[in-house]
Chains A and B, each alone.
Chain A
Amino acid sequence: KQEVTQIPAALSVPEGENLVLNCSFTDSAIYNLQWFRQDPGKGLTSLLLIQSSQREQTSGRLNASLDKSSGRSTLYIAASQPGDSATYLCAVISNQGGKLIFGQGTELSVKP
């Protein structure tokens, strides 16, 4: 059974700092991994999707990497801003089915 874990559960950093969020999954047989952002009480916004054959994806200040063999992904945020404060969720689609399996999220707070 696929399980997704995110560490840390919460993170507080000063504005301008570079930071890394971690995601691990137990079964390497995945189609892809996605990173989402969720603002309080809101839905999810897709940030990056990495297909199983890819190693990384970049969008602006965000860079996500994928290491299938070790079951790990990282989301790197450069030059963090207070507007980056949100919960970040990673999710995988396993080869066994088309559903997204989510981690519990990392709550990020960027202090001015």
Chain B
Amino acid sequence: ETGVTQSPTHLIKTRGQQVTLRCSSQSGHNTVSWYQQALGQGPQFIFQYYREEENGRGNFPPRFSGLQFPNYSSELNVNALELDDSALYLCASSHPGHNSPLHFGNGTRLTVT
């Protein structure tokens, strides 16, 4: 069983640039969620995708957008990067349903300078 994989592991960008982060879900999982974790904080929910449709969104501006593909892999896109976007971005996959455990990848560490 292949776990959740994220790429790249680390990324450095300049303020104002755009970035795309990628996530491959665990085999058999059709739901993908993205979280932002600032240093020393708990993860914050960005959005969730189920069967290629956005299925819930947290308190993040529209410059945070996403996609889910037919193979259930997913992308997180962030436009007009700001210094406060520096964080660990975590992807999690699961089966649908509230009582399905989430399986997290190791994250992408984004630094905005």
Contact = CB atoms under 8 A, between A and B. Distances in A.
B66 interface: no
Given A31-B98, A31-B99, A93-B98, A99 B45 contact: yes
Interface in A29-58: 31-32, 34, 36, 41-46, 49, 51
Interface stretch (A12-20, A59-67, A77-85, A102-110): A102-110
A100 B102 contact: yes
Contacts of A101: 45
A4 interface: yes
B107 A43 contact: yes
Given A46-B102, A93-B98, A99 B43 contact: no
Given A31-B98, A31-B99, A99-B56, A104 B42 contact: yes
A21 interface: no
Given A31-B98, A104-B40, A105-B42, A99 B103 contact: no
B99 A102 contact: no
A89 B43 CA distance: 9
Contacts of B45: 99-101
Task: Determine the interface band of chain B, counting residues with CB < 8 A from chain A.
Answer: 20 to 34
Contact of A98 (B40, B55, B101, B105): B55
Given A41-B88, A99-B58, 20 more contacts: A32-B98, A34-B102, A41-B109, A42-B106, A42-B107, A43-B90, A43-B106, A44-B90, A44-B102, A46-B101, A46-B103, A91-B42, A93-B98, A98-B48, A99-B33, A99-B48, A100-B45, A101-B45, A104-B41, A105-B42
Contacts, number: 62
Interface residues of A, number: 25
Contacts of B106: 42-43
Interface in B88-113: 88, 90, 92, 98-99, 101-107, 109
A14 B103 CA distance: 31
B84 to A, nearest CB: 17
B105 A103 contact: no
